[in-house]
Amino acid sequence: MDDLFIGIDPGASGAVCALVPATKGIAFLQPPYDKNTYDKIMATQSAHNIRIIMIEQVSPIRGASAGSNFKFGYNTGQINAIAEITGIGVDLVRPKAWHKKIGMIKKQPHIKKEVAAIAHRLYPDAELYGPRGGLLDGRSDALMIAHFAFLKYTGK
């Protein structure tokens, strides 16, 4: 049974990524996060050895409205609760930590593009772009968080 690492970008436009490094198998879940998300994670657990669920540790968005921050916090709380009730180990990672580990160089506003470029280089078959070529929100971050978890928990 292959090891599987789950990376989660918890934002409203984030994603959940299940990564099997041995085969470079990748699957994504998009918000909203609900019982269906829990069911899919548990079904994955029966088919693979989920080593860890790695969630990006986020803070309120400066300059955003109270409503936006509430929605962001609500989504973050939902995904954290779902991860915790699975009984699978959960770890939090600050954005700067996983950015550094994957080799990020640039600063804002090009972070998303750089993360996507690194993700595409490491996992060229990952579905990171939509049919019109636009970056699908949250996917490259979730994939790189799962990749970070793989590196951290395998000592690579």
**pLDDT, position 60:** 66
- Structural domains counted in the chain: 1
Specify the pTM.
Answer: 0.87
Indicate which CATH number applies to the domain containing 21: 3.30.420.10
How far is the C-alpha of 69 from the C-alpha of 61, rounded, in Å?
6
How far is the C-alpha of 142 from the C-alpha of 56, rounded, in Å?
8
pLDDT in tens, the chain (156 residues): 799 999 999 877 889 999 999 999 999 988 777 788 888 888 888 788 999 999 998 776 677 677 666 776 777 788 888 888 888 899 999 999 999 999 988 666 678 889 999 999 999 999 999 899 888 889 999 999 999 999 999 987
**pLDDT, position 76:** 78
**pLDDT, position 69:** 67
- The domain of 9 spans 3-154
Nearest to 92 by CA among 53, 131, 130, 63: 53
Nearest to 4 by CA among 88, 124, 82: 88
